[in-house]
């Protein structure tokens, strides 16, 4: 590893320690990657691309050393809960629509049968009376 990358990694580790102890100097002190990047004076994308292991270590330490859950995890959990609710609603709607399609198909079959019977009656001569079905 080159010297610049080692220096970045050292600054990131120091920033992690400062954020977890509540002694932020540059950032707002929130336990997010954005605050970590500001605290370490590195670009946020550097944490995602070059130092993903340190970003993951930061989130692991946030989970274990504090009672806080990382903001990204909280957002994802809310999103997952909302999506599960949508899936439940859509599944119920789908079931109702399938039932409605079945009922409409049956009604269509009854209507077609009655129409066929009416057409047959219309073709009979006037002096013929058809007996009702049992």
pLDDT, tens only, 13-55 = 999 899 888 888 888 888 888 899 998 989 889 888 888 899 8
Residue 75 to residue 89: CA distance in whole angstroms? 21
132's tokens = 């009702």
pLDDT band of 1, cuts 50, 70, 90: low
Q: Are 59 and 70 in contact (CB under 8 A)?
A: yes
What is the average pLDDT value for the chain, to the nearest integer?
Answer: 88
Supply the pLDDT for residue 62: 85
pLDDT of residue 115: 93
Q: How far apart are CA 19 and CA 41, in angstroms?
A: 13
pLDDT in tens, 71-125: 777 888 999 999 999 999 999 999 999 999 999 999 999 999 999 988 887 887 8
C-alpha–C-alpha distance, residues 69 and 51, integer Å: 21
For residue 70, pLDDT over 80 is answered with no
Please state the pTM of the whole predicted model.
Answer: 0.52
| Residue 105 pLDDT | 97
């Amino acid at each position: 590893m080159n010297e610049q990358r080692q220096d970045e990694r050292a600054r990131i580790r120091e920033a992690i320690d400062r954020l977890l102890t509540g002694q932020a100097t540059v950032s707002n002190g929130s336990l997010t990657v954005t605050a970590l990047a500001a605290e370490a004076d590195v670009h946020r994308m550097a944490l995602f691309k070059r130092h993903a292991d340190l970003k993951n270590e930061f989130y692991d330490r946030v989970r274990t050393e504090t009672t806080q859950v990382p903001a990204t995890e909280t957002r994802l959990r809310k999103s997952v809960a909302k999506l599960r609710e949508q899936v439940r609603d859509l599944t119920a709607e789908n079931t109702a629509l399938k039932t409605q399609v079945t009922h409409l198909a049956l009604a269509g079959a009854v209507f077609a049968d009655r129409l066929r019977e009416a057409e047959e009656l219309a073709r009979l001569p006037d002096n013929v009376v058809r007996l009702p079905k049992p």
